[in-house]
Structure 1
Amino acid sequence: MASSFLYNRMDCISKFKLGFLIVLGLSMGCKQEAHEPVRSQKKVWFKALHQSGDLVEYRHELTLYTDSTFVYDSKEKDHGHSKYEKFEGIAFIQNDTLHFSRNDMNGAGSKAVLKNGMLEFANGTNSFRLEVVENHTPLKSVINLRNHPDYALFTYYPSKKRDRNTPYDLSPAEFEKVRELIHCVFEEQKANLKSNQDYIKQLIPYRNKKGELEVRVNMFCNDKLDPNGFKYRTILMNDGGKCNVTFVVIFKSNYYVDFSVAGEA
């Protein structure tokens, strides 16, 4: 009887130990699965591109991610020479401005604002622009130029120390008004101009010393070798015949002045 009792007791203990080990193993497996780290994949938050050039090719691409990191790739290609650079850092948004942890990416500083589909770097001396191709940030453009691919809007920068004109940003309604007046120019200056679709238009709005709104309009023939170049920088041309046209739109008089073709009034 004693041996039978001892055997049953040992058998019970063995079963208890086995059950305890099974439960312990299951609980350890559950804990390991529950505490497995979840890796969040960063996504593209903002992307802008500068791609232009004929004799010298330029390609700058900025990618900003959801974890506030950014990558800035630049490439400049000349005859038989190429230069590649890559910049990485941190960026953040404050009001309407993007701030970057680096200021050596394109020679125009570490701050940029979003204007009319372009990201514009400016440090008071130089400016550099990239076209926005993807944007999930709170920053939005006032004027959407995607439906007007022959137009580009630029910030006014005083050319002289005593220049009393001040920069101004057009509203969508004011932009449409400028387009209407440009149409009038083509109607009245048919003998001096090609067709509207043959030109790209660069607009530079500002307020004069009296506070009146004016817009400098530069028009040039389409450049097949560098079709996007006009979006990134204002064009200066001394000649060009009908491919070099300038005038100023005056909002107060609802008309235009200083019309010239190839530098000749």
Structure 2
Amino acid sequence: MKIRIIIPLLLFGLFIQCKNQIIEKTKIEQILAINNYDYRGSEKFELYSDNTYIFTSIKKIIGPEKVEKFKGIYFLKNDTIYFDQSLHAYNKSKKAVIKNNFIEFVGGIFPLKIEIKKNRLQTKNKLDLRKYNDYAFFTFDSNFYAIYYNYEPNTIKPYDLNQKELIEVNQILKKCFSENNSKLKNLSKYVKQCTAIINDKKEKEVWIKCYCKDFYIENEYKYSLIDMSDGGNCNISLKINLTKHSYSDLSTGGLG
């Protein structure tokens, strides 16, 4: 009698084990994105083939680490990821866009983009940044950028550069630094943060901020815009007008 009971239990246990192994094998990591903020912590986003995701935030502050983990369901359409409600507790983003090797979260209460380290999806980047690895690109958002740039509300729109335009931006930037070499360092000494827009005259414009490379900036300049009020020639800003093929509004250390 005992043998009759034990055998079905063993078979049931083997069935559960095999089922779990099948689930694990079919749950493939599609995207792994990580931002490392050195001593301040990290953010990690994992996207799986079974339409689940895990978002992990680690904040290193005084005292023990604060670890927050959010799990949920997503729906993918082309290069856009739509989330269920579970990520709302972090920054309230309802969707994210896969763009130029980053996950850009849209509509959140603060800007958030996370660098992709692994990607099994057939998504294509608009920009090839292998020759421009000290450039970072940010999508214009009127909710957050007022502190960085002066503009009239509702007069400009976000724009995505193509590769040809990126090459021209780099060429004009080289020209700017060459013509102003008495007060600027060599262009290669800076990281470049770029925001492309359509201005109130319907012209393509790129707002650029350049900062001297150092340990902290070089690691984090790709994640968020830097706010610096001084810095001399380690804090450069200018505008490049791709419609007019020119640059303007060059300033150093926050001064014109």
State the TM-score, normalized to the length of structure 2: 0.82
Quote the Cα distance in structure 2 between the aligned partners of 1:147 and 1:65: 31
1:240-251 matched pairs, under 5 angstroms: 240-251=231-242
Match of 1:167 in 2: 158
Moved more, 162-171 or 121-130: 121-130
Shift of 1:124: 5.8
Q: How many residues align?
A: 228
2:117 to 120, 125, 133: 133
Shift of 1:105: 5.7
Shift of 1:251: 1.5
Moved over 6 A (4+): none
Matched, 1:187 2:178: yes
2:216 to 225, 235, 239: 225
Aligned Cα RMSD in Å?
2.0
Match of 2:68 in 1: 85
Matched, 1:122 2:113: no
Note closer, same or farther for the CA distance 1:62–1:125 as it changes in structure 2 (3 Å cut): closer
Match of 1:176 in 2: 167
Matched, 1:212 2:197: no
Show CA shifts across 1:204-262 (max 9, x none). 11011121101001000113135221111111111000100000001222110000011
Quote the Cα distance in structure 1 between the aligned partners of 2:213 and 2:225: 14
State the TM-score, normalized to the length of structure 1: 0.80
Stretches of structure 2 lacking an aligned partner (at least 5 in a row): 1-17
1:143 to 118, 127, 133: 127
Contact residue 52 and residue 226 of structure 1 kept, 8 A: no
Note closer, same or farther for the CA distance 1:110–1:210 as it changes in structure 2 (3 Å cut): same
Structure index of larger Rg: 1
Report the AA paired with residue 79 of structure 1. I
Stretches of structure 1 lacking an aligned partner (at least 5 in a row): 1-35
SS of 1:75 mapped into structure 2: strand
Moved more, 69-78 or 121-130: 121-130
Percent identity, aligned pairs only, is 32
Report the AA paired with residue 39 of structure 1. I
